[in-house]
Chains A and B, each alone.
Chain A
Amino acid sequence: MTNTTKSSGKSYKKEMPILWWTRRTSHIIFVMRELTSLGVAYFAIILLLLIGAISQGEESYYEFIKLMKSPILIWLSIISLLGLIFHSVTWFNLAPKAMVVKFGKYRIPGIVIMLSNYAGWIVISIIVGRFLLY
């Protein structure tokens, strides 16, 4: 609770620099993982705008697709996709830490939980892709 006292009443505490996370690679990776949330939000909004365009009629649908071809949005798509993939990978890799599944006495190994996450990712991607395109 207290930072002070001791016989002489003094102690020394180092301050953390504002950008503390730039000093270690693992912390830079951590901040990158946290910033993937921006890609998630960005793409959620793109989805919402797409639905809005579709519901407004044929013309605005094709206009939206034309908009998606503009260089700025292409770059945003690429950056946000990299973020989304990094989010998926880190999320699935860390999932076994939070998810502990037990069958009676038997605890399912973390690697199985992780791999089933990846399997679910592949299955859902195929289903969504087929659903959207065919």
Chain B
Amino acid sequence: MADKITLEVFRYRPDDNSEPSFQKYMIPLQRDWVILDALNYIKDHIDGTLSYRWSCRMGICGSCGMMVNEKPVLTCAAFLENLIPGPVRIEPLENFPVVRDLVIDMRDFLEKLKRVKPWIIREQEDPAIEEYKQTPDQLADFKQYSMCINCMLCYSACPVYGLEPEFTGPAVIALAQRYNMDNRDHGNSARMDALSDESGMWQCTFIGDCSKVCPKKVDPAGAIQRYKVHGANTWWKNLLLPWAKDK
């Protein structure tokens, strides 16, 4: 058993006016370690200046996404053992501006998320009704899309987002679908407005990598294609039956 493995970690420290570079760290190879454990080992024992985001260590907070050997992954779920013999290249999530080392600026994503109103919108709220019931089938319609943890791996995998930063992107459209398909929601047409312009779903060319990298099997690519079908149907309906109202 080789007991050491090399990590090549992307470094960017804007305060030093330095150009981005890769720094090599030799670390002990523990079979039960994930990449995040290795980064924590570096931070604690080798180089305290390394910056990166993490929180829960169990694939639910969505904050430790990075590029590992050019693939976007949650570093808390990527085992070192599968990357033997190395070296393992660790970079910040692609397609985002890098603030420092492995930390990216996610404000663009949050801004876009807000635009699709990811909450239940009701035409009228009746305070007398204490709960809005939902059958298991109705839940099944959108449950998959509600699993998204906003880790943004799909944005890193999406070349369209890389080429056109205006593009709303996979997770946000999938989350719009999560509410559109909820039987308690009435916000479909408001979200359609936000997503049917040039920056919206029509930019997507169904490359499909977003669904491949999703750690929660949300399948944003499928969500976007379904939304396109819905958008096209709505468009023809508005053209041919302008008097009919949609949800």
**CB–CB B99/A6 < 8 A:** yes
Chain A residues 80-119 with CB under 8 Å of chain B are: 94, 97-100, 105, 107
**CB–CB A97/B108 < 8 A:** no
Rounded to whole Å, the gap between the CB of B16 and the closest CB of chain A is 10
Task: Given A13-B97, A13-B98, A97-B222, decide whether A27 and B207 contact each other with a Cβ distance below 8 A.
Answer: yes
**CB–CB A97/B105 < 8 A:** no
Partner of B226, one of A6, A13, A100: A100
A30 at the interface (CB under 8 A from B): yes
**Bound: A12/B93 CA distance, A:** 12
**Bound: A43/B12 CA distance, A:** 52
Partner of B14, one of A11, A94, A107: A11
**Bound: A27/B221 CA distance, A:** 15
Contacts of A107 in B (CB 8 A): 140
Partner of A16, one of B137, B163, B209, B228: B163
Of listed A11, A26, A99, residue having the most chain B CB within 10 A? A11
**Bound: A30/B205 CA distance, A:** 9
Task: Given A34-B205, A97-B222, decide whether A16 and B98 contact each other with a Cβ distance below 8 A.
Answer: no
**CB–CB A105/B137 < 8 A:** yes
**CB–CB A1/B207 < 8 A:** no
> Interface size (B, Cβ < 8 Å)?
32
Which residue on A lies nearest to B212, using beta carbons? A26
Task: Given A3-B105, A99-B229, A105-B137, decide whether A12 and B209 contact each other with a Cβ distance below 8 A.
Answer: no
Partner of B206, one of A1, A94, A99: A94
Chain B residues within CB distance 8 Å of chain A? 12, 14-15, 20, 94, 96-99, 105, 107-108, 111, 137, 140, 159, 162-163, 165, 205-209, 212, 219, 221-222, 225-226, 228-229
Interchain residue pairs with CB less than 8 A apart (28): A2-B107, A2-B108, A3-B165, A6-B14, A6-B105, A11-B14, A12-B12, A12-B97, A12-B98, A13-B97, A16-B159, A16-B162, A16-B163, A20-B159, A20-B163, A26-B212, A30-B205, A30-B207, A30-B208, A34-B205, A97-B206, A97-B221, A97-B222, A97-B226, A98-B225, A99-B229, A105-B137, A107-B140
